[in-house]
């Protein structure tokens, strides 16, 4: 009998022109919470897809409970007791929660689907997860967090022995991990957050540049050593904070309120200053800045820019005044994912390059190239689609887009959400550079 519930040896996966995994290994013990960490592009996602039967490795072996396995597809992995819960749920929005949970392994009797039994079983699973909705709800009406809960219920419905969790809200993550552990499930979890790893995992495996770097006991590895393993160098200054002379007041918010969202909020920001807004999920941080930028309308309160009251009714008004919001969800709200990087960057200022209805493409290209270089975007060229970049580089494109205009106030909602430790330090450095140039952040 093997000491591991899951073991992978010498896994190599090749896509045209690139080795996505190069001779990597991994071992998961029974009942263990094992973190998998590495920068964006380190090979984590490809590795998970090999485990779940989505990709077939060119080389290497995989053992489940000591027996060698060779999955032909995701259904084989599911039947073997492996389930993955992704950050962005893949669901059928027009079907019910119960239909989504049992998709592909419906409860049947005499070839007939047992709807009553499926709904009852789905409700049992949802109750275990403290869900505030039931099995008959239509999937598309649920929030992302609720849809993730359905994904977990789906994993439990297959009696999974191994569950792979990808990054999510921390408090929810802790509760889910505790519940899965109680059921004797072994867990692999992927996160960029060190605090999650220290709190939940007993061991951590690090990948870098598609290669296996090492497996460490969480109790025995420091932050600095872990960063070095992930990035390949020491990051001396994860939070670089430049010395900047604070200038005049740029933005002042007085007694801003919006019924049901936030009440009597006041603050100000000066040129060269970085002000943090913090609070738990649902505290109203995003809602406040959306009101400042004209995405929603506050019920009362005033917004002043450089001492003068401004009346912002829509986002274009905010941008004309010199206020820009870099949204939390860069993929849905910050970028057009199928477009090239250059066109994404110049989109807000496209009227500047249009003459008689035609684009001055050379000027547009030169500007986008300069701005993307300024924020050190790692990309092949400006025509590469935004969807092909890592999270950190996508965020840099969003920053470059903000810089294409004459802005005074830059509001960044969760600018380092879902980006790795190396890219985090780079984004903080960019924020410092913007402060030096006199932006209010």
Convert the pLDDT of each residue in 329-339 to its tens digit. Answer: 888 888 998 99
Pair 193, 223: CB distance under 8 Å: no
Pair 407, 322: CB distance under 8 Å: yes
pLDDT average, residue stretch 259-285: 91
Convert the pLDDT of each residue in 191-227 to its tens digit. Answer: 877 888 898 999 999 998 889 999 999 999 988 898 8
Radius of gyration of the chain (CA): 24
Pair 6, 34: CB distance under 8 Å: no
Q: What pTM was computed for the model?
A: 0.64
Pair 319, 348: CB distance under 8 Å: yes
Strand partners, 265: 256
First-to-last alpha carbon distance for the chain, in angstroms, is 58
Structure tokens at 75: 């259904």
| CA 416 to the chain's CA centroid | 9
The pLDDT of residue 94: 94
Ordered DSSP codes for 232-250 = SS--S-SS--------SEE
CA dihedral defined by 296, 301, 305, 310, rounded to 10 degrees? 70
State the burial class of residue 148 (Cβ atoms within 10 Å of its Cβ: 0-12, 13-18, 19+): buried
Q: Return the SS3 of 355.
A: strand
Structure tokens at 291: 């009101």
| Cα separation values, 50 from 11, 13, 369, Å | 9, 8, 37
| CA 306 to the chain's CA centroid | 35
The rounded mean pLDDT for the chain is 88
Q: Is residue 170 pLDDT above 60, yes or no?
A: no
Least confident residue range of 24-38, 108-122, 399-413 = 399-413
The CA distance from 85 to 106, in Å, is: 19
Strand partners, 359: 354
Q: Return the SS3 of 337.
A: coil
Which residue stretches of 158-248 are H helix?
Answer: 170-182, 194-200, 223-231
Convert the pLDDT of each residue in 409-428 to its tens digit. Answer: 999 998 887 777 777 888 88
The pLDDT of residue 389: 81
């Amino acid at each position: 009998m093997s000491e591991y519930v899951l073991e992978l040896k010498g896994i190599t996966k090749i896509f045209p022109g690139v080795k996505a995994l190069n001779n990597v290994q991994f071992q998961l013990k029974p009942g263990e919470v094992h973190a998998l960490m590495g920068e964006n592009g380190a090979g984590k996602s490809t590795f998970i897809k090999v485990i779940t039967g989505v990709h077939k490795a060119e080389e290497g072996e995989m053992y489940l409970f000591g027996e060698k396995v060779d999955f032909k597809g995701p259904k084989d992995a599911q039947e073997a007791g492996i389930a993955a819960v992704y950050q962005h749920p893949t669901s059928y929005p027009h079907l019910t929660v119960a239909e989504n949970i049992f998709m592909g392994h419906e409860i049947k009797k005499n070839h007939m689907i047992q709807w009553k039994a499926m709904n009852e079983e789905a409700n049992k699973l949802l109750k275990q997860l403290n869900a505030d909705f039931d099995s008959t709800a239509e999937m598309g009406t649920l929030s992302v967090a609720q849809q993730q809960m359905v994904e977990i219920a789906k994993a439990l419905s297959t009696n999974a022995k191994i569950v792979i969790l990808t990054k999510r809200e921390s408090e929810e993550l802790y509760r889910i991990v505790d519940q899965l552990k109680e059921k004797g499930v072994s867990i692999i979890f992927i996160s960029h957050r060190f605090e999650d790893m220290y709190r939940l995992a007993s061991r951590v495996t690090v990948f870098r540049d598609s290669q296996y770097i090492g497996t460490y006991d969480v109790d025995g590895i420091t932050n600095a050593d872990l960063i070095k393993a992930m990035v390949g160098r020491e990051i001396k200054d994860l939070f670089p904070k430049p010395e900047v002379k604070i200038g005049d007041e740029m933005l002042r918010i007085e007694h801003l309120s919006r019924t049901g969202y936030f009440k009597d909020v006041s603050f100000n920001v000066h040129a060269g200053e970085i002000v943090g807004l913090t609070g738990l999920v649902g505290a109203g941080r995003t809602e406040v800045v959306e009101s400042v930028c004209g995405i929603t309308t506050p019920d009362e309160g005033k917004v002043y820019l450089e001492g003068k009251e401004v009346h912002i009714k829509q986002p274009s008004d905010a941008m004309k005044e010199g206020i820009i919001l870099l949204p939390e969800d860069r993929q849905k709200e910050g970028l057009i994912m199928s477009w090239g990087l250059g066109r994404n960057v110049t989109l807000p200022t496209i009227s500047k390059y249009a003459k008689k209805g035609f684009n001055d493409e050379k000027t547009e290209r030169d500007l986008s190239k300069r701005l993307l270089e300024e924020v050190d975007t790692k990309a092949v060229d400006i025509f590469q689609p935004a969807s092909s970049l890592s999270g950190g580089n996508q965020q840099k494109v969003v920053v470059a887009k903000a810089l294409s205009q004459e802005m005074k106030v830059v509001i960044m909602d969760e600018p380092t959400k879902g980006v790795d430790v190396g890219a985090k330090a780079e984004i903080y450095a960019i924020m410092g550079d913007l402060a030096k140039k006199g932006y209010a952040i």
